[in-house]
Amino acid sequence: MFLTVSVGFPQQDGLSADLSEEVNSDAFQEHFFEALKQKSIENYDRAIVALLECKKLQVDNEVVDYELGLNHMEQTNYILAQQHFEVAAASDPSNVWYQDALLNCLIKQHNYHAAVSVAEVLLTMDNDYYKTLADIYIELGEGGQAKKIIVKMLEEGIDLGAATQLQTKLRMREQTKAMLKSEESVTKSTSKALNSPTEQYKNQIEMQFEKTDYPEALHFSSEAIDNFPTQPIFYLYKARSLNKLQNYKMAIQILKDGLSYVLDPGEMEKNFYKEFVVSYTALGDKQKVDYYQEKINN
């Protein structure tokens, strides 16, 4: 689609221009495939450098912007990723891959209001995005809108399993919200705080770690994330459980997800970096180990 090379026998007066285009295309392909190679081995910095060279050669190539966005996403540089995804999506609005990448980027930033409009665009292309849109409304606290979508899914037989899960999630979120509101209205004392749902999860998970029951620690931390998706401590617990269970790649993904909720640099952030070190050490990625070790020491 975008890797075009001049072929045939051009007229003499157009020879110079055609040769220039061919050289441009060859250079583009070389940089582009180098970028793909570097991304495949998780060397995102080098992949970005190669893609920027592509950008110089083909400024308006939306595939380059899409790939730049993907690499920035892997580095949790969500603002830069969003900029590139927006360019790609604007160039080809009907491309599901571009719109989906933009949607995921907005969700990672918890920019749910902007995510709604992108999810609605995707919904015109694929019914699978009913679930995503309902999830976004739940995160926004707009239970009424979420319920409308869930009812539509149930009535029209759209992914009934997902619709049932969404019903459960919405019910639990509403119950938790009511419970927290009730606790707040009764008292703000320390004794009540210690009995809050988040503290109960923390105590339960830490108890499983003490017992070295890592599957149970994983279970409770996953459940805690479902109920309290903006609490970074539960992502840290889940990643630690996964590291203990030697599921290092999944641990890294959870750490990346949770790190976006750490708003202030400090001990929590360093604890995330320590778990990154554990994961990448086990995977033998010395470059990443050194990168996160340096962040811990700074």
| Structure tokens given for 284 | 């033998």
Kindly report the length of the chain. 298
Among 289, 270, 287, which Cα is nearest to 279's? 289
C-alpha atoms less than 13 angstroms from C-alpha of 127 in its C-beta half-sphere: 11
Do 188-297 and 1-111 have the same topology in CATH? yes
Instruction: Compute the C-alpha angle 60/64/70, nearest 5°.
Output: 140
Question: Which residue blocks in the chain are alpha helix, DSSP H?
Answer: 15-40, 44-57, 62-74, 78-91, 96-108, 112-123, 129-139, 143-156, 160-186, 190-194, 197-210, 214-227, 232-244, 248-259, 267-283, 286-297
Quote the CA–CA distance of 246 and 124 in Å, as a whole number: 40
Sign of the Cα pseudo-torsion (25, 30, 33, 39, in order)? negative
Domain boundaries, the chain: 1-111, 127-186, 188-297
Q: Which fold has domain 1-111?
A: 1.25.40
pTM, two decimals, is 0.58
Q: Which CATH superfamily is domain 188-297 in?
A: Tetratricopeptide repeat domain (1.25.40.10)
DSSP 5: -
181: exposed, middle or buried (C-beta count within 10 Å: 0-12, 13-18, 19+)?
exposed
Q: Provide CB contacts within 8 A for 169, sequence distance 6+.
A: 135, 138, 226
Which of 296, 253, 257, 250 is closest to 277 using CA atoms? 296
126 closest CA partner among 169, 167, 158: 158
Which pLDDT tens digits describe the chain residue by residue (298 residues)?
333 333 332 333 444 444 445 556 889 999 999 999 999 999 999 999 999 999 999 999 999 999 999 999 998 888 999 999 999 999 999 999 999 999 999 998 888 999 999 999 999 999 999 999 999 998 888 888 999 999 988 988 988 888 888 888 888 877 766 666 655 555 454 444 445 788 888 999 999 999 888 988 998 899 899 888 989 999 999 999 999 999 999 999 999 999 988 887 788 999 999 999 999 999 999 999 999 999 898 7
